[in-house]
Structure 1
Amino acid sequence: MIAAVAFVALIALGVPIAWVLVLTSLALIAQGGDWILLESLPQQLFGGIETYALLALPLFTLLGELMGAGGIGRRLLALAGALLPPLKGGLAYVNLLANVLMASVLGSTTAQITVMSRLAVPEMERAGHPRELSATITAAGGLLAPILPPSMNLIVFAAIAQLPVAELFVAGVVPGLVMAGLFVVVIARLARRHDLPPVAPAPMAERGRVIIAALPALCVPLIAVGSILTGLATPTEAAAVSACAAVLVGMGVYRELRLRDIPGALLRAAKGAGQVLFLVACAQLLGWVLTYSNLPAMTARLLQDLTQSPLVFLLLLNLMLLALGMIMEPIPAIILTAPVLLPVATDVYGIDPVAFGIVTCVNLTLGLLTPPVGAGLYTAALLTGTRPLGLARRLIPFFLAVLVTLLGLTVAAANPFAS
């Protein structure tokens, strides 16, 4: 009880989530009187990030920085425009396809929305698309980053659950593409409702030049994702090779990445990855204390008293995660819930851990674009000059598309028709 009150009070006071996790761990130790655990705290704190899978996180963060500095992202956007036919509201589809291509490299919603807000929204405005609608589509496209590999959320879940990152990456491809397909349906309806202008067809020669110019940029996401899906490299190795490829393309082909830009990219990547890794370490510490206090077993007994159905369990889980995602970022939410609920899902209800991880990560992506905390929502609103609450209302059709995908994943994970 003391620990729960401390946790809520610290969150309400705005204490950084990493310190909330550490202080809650200390409160749990004090509440249980297990002072002997204090001797192992430093070891558990450092042990929380002694996972090979987590090495992919700073490398993919660096890859995103190098892509932005080397002009790769801009050429992927141009490639998306060259590949699509002249449709009504064509730039909206270009925006979505570019988000799919960028998601296969960046893996972070905030980073993706930042890049796409600078690249796509001004182009859509110049073509006659309302700014609010352009910002909405850009923000919605950012929901693909935590699902399509390489996803930072999936990397963190894999590290906590001790699962192969590659398995989660492969499992994230189909839900990500389904979400993208449903987004196409939403955009088609918006294009008709707002009478969006079509994109004038570019001459074949011009489209050919754009495609040829973008081929080196396209090699970077192909190396990152292809080497993982084919088993030629682990996610960590793929991230390292892709970062080297981004340097070669940015410096040797496009000549937009300069040697003096690399230290800044390294520093920004180190800061971003360091914050996440410290958060993971603190959360692993809390998970260790919770396990010692037998909380997973008590949670399992409580849920068993409520239901014996895997499907009902997953539906209750989704409701809880939707509420949690509205007040907490996805990675902290994953770190808090996975150590407690994953053993219950696998041991009590027989749910596959990879399927459980995909359901969890897809659910928590919505929190990135919902008030009051959604970092992606406020990033998109700030960079495009729109109101966050108005943007959230316009995103509702895209939210419904994600919920449809989530429902399908939930039914598949529960496998209610087995046996």
Structure 2
Amino acid sequence: MITLIAFLVVLLSGLPIFSALLFAAVAFMFEFDLTFLFENTLPDQLYGALNKNGLLAIPLFMLVGELMNRGGLTEKLIMAAEVLVGRIKGGLAYVNLLTNAMASSILGSATAQISIMSSTMIPEMVQRGYRKDFSAAVTMAGGLLGPIFPPSMIMIIYGVIAYQPISSLFLAGILPGVFIVFLFALLIFIIGCFTELPRGDKIGFKEAIKRLANAILPGLIPIAVIMLILLGVTTPTEAGAIASLIAFILGAFIYKNIGIKDIGPILLNVGNSTATITILIASATVLGWALGFEGIPDMIIGALIGLTDSSFWFLMLVYAVVILLGMFLESISVMIVLLPILIPALGAYGIDPIHFGVMVTVATVIGVVTPPVGAGLFITMQNTRLKMSQVFYAFIPFLGILFVGMIVIALWPELSLWLPEVSKTWGGGK
């Protein structure tokens, strides 16, 4: 009880989440007279939490995203997407969705993706005659794809905490991601049947060929990442390093949008973001270790099994808890706090940890766009000058169809597990 109070007091005080996690771990040790562990085991746990090769993928894929944006590569993907689907009714909404799907293979973060796309796609859609609230809703929905498609920061963290191969998690997110894109596109089509959505401008043949040609090299980056992992040629970390090199060469030498003066800010942004994530992982590992020392996870597993012996209802309960916490904590924090408690319960319900990783990833991103503290929601409000009620009300249909997708993913494990199994056949799974 003291641990929970300590955690909530520090969290509500406005201090960073890692402070709350570490303070709760220390309070737990005092409460259960485990202070003899301070001198040696506590530093070892902090060091051991970060001494994992899988974590190297985080700064590398963040670097890919920074280089793609600074190098103008993301813009070329947007222009190519407009060629593919821009002319149909509601075309720019589909362009928004398709661009987000492509960008998610670069950025891997819902908040970063919503920030970039809301500042570029929403003004363009409004200028073409789309309602501002609808444009905001489509952009937020597309931004949620960021952590689902590889590379995904959340999946990297899940793999490290749950001791699962990150390559398998990356591959497991692809088909569920495509399925969610289909559901969002279906919803846009249905909305278009009942409301008037504009058509895009006609793009000449030469211009269309030019745009598609310009997108070939940037488009090769996410394709290369996926294929290198799928075929087992590289680990995710190595794929991130290769993708970073390609993005730098394209941005600096081919398109000449990255200069010497840009390298410092790029590395500083990557360093700041990486430090934020890694201190969270280290502090949460200490708390999880302290709880495990006293057998708290086993007690929680027993309580869950007492509530239901159905794997489906267990997963629905997990969805509810993750979404609820996601309304108050950011996605990575939710993952770090819950996983040490939930992972041990999977065996009792016969749930594959890779499938579970995809489910938890999808559930955590909902918090990015839900009140009261959803970062993606506030970024969209800031970029559109709309009220929270206006943005969220327009987003409700997308949230509803996302819930449908989450239930399908829970009931259909093969959707997540097929590609990882194929990868093993081809020699992947590094």
TM-score band, normalised by shorter chain: over 0.9
2:382 — aligned with what?
A: 382
Aligned to 1:129: 130
Amino acid in the other structure paired with 2:211: V
Residue in 1 that maps onto 2:369: 369
Equivalent residues of 1:74, 1:119 under 8 A apart: no
User: What is the CA-CA distance between 1:413 and the residue it aligns to?
Assistant: 4.7
Matched, 1:29 2:29: yes
1:224 shift after superposition: 2.3
Paired residue for 1:143? 144
CA distance in 2, matches of 1:65, 1:209: 25
Tell me, what secondary structure is at the counterpart of 2:257?
coil
Task: Say whether residues 1:286 and 2:287 are aligned partners.
Answer: yes
Contact 1:3–1:28 (Cα < 8 Å) also in 2: yes
2:111/2:376 contact within 8 Å kept: yes
Is 2:4 the counterpart of 1:17?
A: no
| Counterpart for residue 394 of structure 1 | 394
Give 2:272's aligned residue.
271
Deviations 1:202-233 (A, max 9, x none): 11111001111221221222222222222221
Instruction: Determine whether 1:316 maps to 2:327.
Output: no
Letter in 1 for 2:287: L
Corresponding residue of 1:297: 298
**Structure 1, residues 156-177: CA drift from partner, whole Å, max 9, x if none?**
1001011100111111111111
Please give the alpha-carbon distance, in whole angstroms, between the structure 2 residues aligned to 1:300 and 1:110: 32
| Whole-angstrom distance in 2 between the partners of 1:352 and 1:35 | 36
Deviation, 1:137, is 0.9
**Does 2:86 align with 1:50?**
no
Q: For 2:359 and 2:98, how far apart are their aligned partners in 1?
A: 24
Q: Match of 2:129, SS?
A: coil
Partner of 1:351: 351
Once the two structures are overlaid, the 10-residue window that deviates more, 8-17 or 138-147, is 8-17
Q: Distance in 2 between matches of 1:384 and 1:236?
A: 37
Structure 2 counterpart of 1:292, one-letter code: F
Aligned ranges for residues 91-110 of structure 1 at < 5 Å? 91-110=92-111
The letter of the residue matching 2:305 is Q
State the Cα distance separating 1:191 from its structure 2 match.
2.8
Quote the Cα distance in structure 2 between the aligned partners of 1:402 and 1:37: 45
**Per-residue deviation, 1:259:** 2.1
Tell me what 2:308 maps to. 307
User: Do structure 1's residue 237 and structure 2's residue 238 form an aligned pair?
Assistant: yes
Give me the whole-angstrom Cα distance separating, in 2, the residues matched to 1:401 and 1:60.
29
Computed over aligned residues only, the root mean square deviation of the Cα atoms, in angstroms, reads: 1.5
Distance in 2 separating the partners of 1:412 and 1:198: 36
**What is the rounded CA distance, in whole Å, between the counterparts of 2:86 and 2:119 in structure 1?**
24
Give the stretch that moved more between structures: 329-338 or 304-313: 304-313
Shift of 1:190: 2.7
Work out whether residues 351 and 413 of structure 1, in 8 Å CA contact, stay in contact via their aligned partners in 2.
no
Deviation at 1:383, TM superposition (A): 2.0
In structure 2, the partner of 1:119 is: 120
User: 5+ unaligned residues in a row in structure 1: which ranges?
Assistant: none
Structure 1 CA distance, aligned partners of 2:263 and 2:108?
20
Deviation, 1:249, is 0.6
Provide the rounded CA distance (Å) in 1 between the counterparts of 2:261 and 2:367. Answer: 37
Please give the secondary structure, in 2, of the residue aligned with 1:48.
Answer: helix
Which residue type is aligned with residue 22 of structure 1?
Answer: L
**Aligned partners of 2:126, 2:228: CA distance in 1, in Å?**
37
Number of residue pairs aligned between Structure 1 and Structure 2: 414
Written as runs of structure 1 = structure 2, the 5 A alignment for 1:255-270 is 255-270=256-271
Q: Percent of aligned pairs with the same residue?
A: 37
The CA deviation at 1:11 is: 2.0
Please tell me the residue identity of whatever aligns with 1:367.
G
- Which position in structure 1 is the counterpart of 2:426? none
- Which stretches of structure 1, 4 residues or longer, exceed 4 Å deviation after superposition? none
Instruction: Tell me the CA shift for residue 414 of structure 1.
Output: 11
User: Match of 1:363, as an amino acid?
Assistant: A
TM (normalized to structure 1)?
Answer: 0.96
Tell me the alpha carbon deviations over residues 110-156 of structure 1, each in whole angstroms, 9 at most, x when there is no partner.
11112112221222122111222212111110010111111111111
Query: 2:190 matched to which residue of 1?
Result: 189
CA contact (8 A) 1:66 1:265 kept: yes
Q: Report SS of the residue matched to 2:264.
A: helix
Q: Which is worse superposed, 227-236 or 179-188? A: 227-236
Kept after mapping to 1: 8 A contact 2:52/2:160? yes
Kept in 2: contact 1:109–1:144 (CA 8 A): yes
C-alpha distance in structure 1 between counterparts of 2:129 and 2:227, whole Å:
37
Amino acid across the alignment from 2:8: V
Aligned-residue offset at 1:411: 2.0
TM-aligned CA deviation for residue 394 of structure 1: 1.0
Matched to 2:311, the amino acid is: P
Runs (5+) with no aligned partner, structure 2:
416-430
- Cα distance in 1, alignment partners of residues 159 and 152 from structure 2: 11
Give the aligned partner of residue 342 of structure 2: 341
Tell me by how many angstroms 1:34 deviates.
1.1
> Is the CA contact (8 Å cut-off) linking 1:72 and 1:250 kept in structure 2?
yes
Check conservation: 2:8, 2:20, Cα contact below 8 A. no
The answer (yes or no) to whether the contact 2:86–2:92 under 8 Å persists in 1 is no
Alignment-mate amino acid for residue 366 of structure 1: I
Shifted more, 99-108 versus 215-224: the winner is 215-224
How does the TM-score come out when normalised to structure 2?
A: 0.93
